[in-house]
Amino acid sequence: MTVVTDRAAASSSPWPDEPVRTAERPRRIVVVAPLRYPIAEPHAGGLESSVWHQVRVLRARGHEVLLCAVEGSDHLPGGPAEFSLPAVHWDDPADATDSTYPAGYLETALPALHRALDWIRDHADEIDVVENHSLSGHVLSRAGELGVPVVSTLHTPTLPDLLEHHRAAVEPRSAFLAVSEHTAAVWRAEGVEARVLPNAVDTDLWPLGPGGDDLVWSGRIVPEKGPHLAIQAARLAGRRIVLAGRVGDVDYHESMVVPLLGADAEHVGPLRQPELADLVGRSACALVTPCWEEPFGLVIAEALSTGTPVASFATGGVPEVVGSSIGAGLVPRDDVAGLAHLAAGLADAASTTPGFRRRVRADALARFSLHRRAEVVEEVHEALVARHRAASQRGRRPARAVVSPARPSATTGPPAPAVPEPAA
Q: Would you say residue 15 lies in a domain?
A: no
Q: What is the DSSP string of 147-209?
A: SS-EEEEE-SS--HHHHHHHHHPPSSPPEEEESSHHHHHHHHTTT---EE----B-TTSS---
Q: Which pLDDT value is given to residue 97?
A: 85
On whether both 259 and 342 belong to a single domain, the answer is yes
pTM: 0.86
Q: Which pLDDT value is given to residue 301?
A: 98
Q: Would you say residue 402 lies in a domain?
A: no
On whether both 331 and 381 belong to a single domain, the answer is no
On whether both 387 and 354 belong to a single domain, the answer is no
On whether both 184 and 288 belong to a single domain, the answer is no
Give the up-direction half-sphere exposure of residue 147: CA atoms within 13 A in the CB hemisphere: 12
On whether both 179 and 39 belong to a single domain, the answer is yes
Q: Would you say residue 422 lies in a domain?
A: no
On whether both 194 and 167 belong to a single domain, the answer is yes
Distance from C-alpha of 102 to C-alpha of 96, rounded to nearest angstrom: 8
Distance from C-alpha of 334 to C-alpha of 290, rounded to nearest angstrom: 9
On whether both 386 and 316 belong to a single domain, the answer is no
**Residue ranges making up the domain that contains 96:** 27-200+370-393
What CATH number is attached to the domain comprising 307?
Answer: 3.40.50.2000
Instruction: Order across the sheet with 64-70: list the strands.
Output: 84-85, 64-70, 28-32, 129-132, 150-154, 175-178, 195-196
Helices 298-305 and 273-281: crossing angle, nearest 10°? 70
Q: Would you say residue 16 lies in a domain?
A: no
Number of domains within the chain: 2
Distances (CA, A) of 390 to 75, 386, 387, 394, 398: 32, 6, 5, 6, 8
On whether both 245 and 163 belong to a single domain, the answer is no
Q: Would you say residue 78 lies in a domain?
A: yes
Q: Would you say residue 229 lies in a domain?
A: yes
Phi, psi of 217 (to 5 degrees): -135, 135
Q: Which residues, in sequence order, are CB contacts of 424 under 8 Å at separation 6+?
A: 399
On whether both 31 and 175 belong to a single domain, the answer is yes
Bond before 172 cis per omega within 30 degrees: yes
Q: Would you say residue 20 lies in a domain?
A: no
On whether both 85 and 230 belong to a single domain, the answer is no
Q: Which pLDDT value is given to residue 420?
A: 30
On whether both 277 and 219 belong to a single domain, the answer is yes
Q: Would you say residue 319 lies in a domain?
A: yes
On whether both 33 and 176 belong to a single domain, the answer is yes
Q: What is the mean pLDDT of each run of 10 residues along the chain (424 residues)?
A: 27 34 81 95 93 96 97 94 94 84 94 98 97 97 97 96 96 96 98 97 96 98 98 98 96 97 97 97 98 97 98 98 97 98 98 98 96 94 94 66 46 36 29
Q: Which pLDDT value is given to residue 90?
A: 87
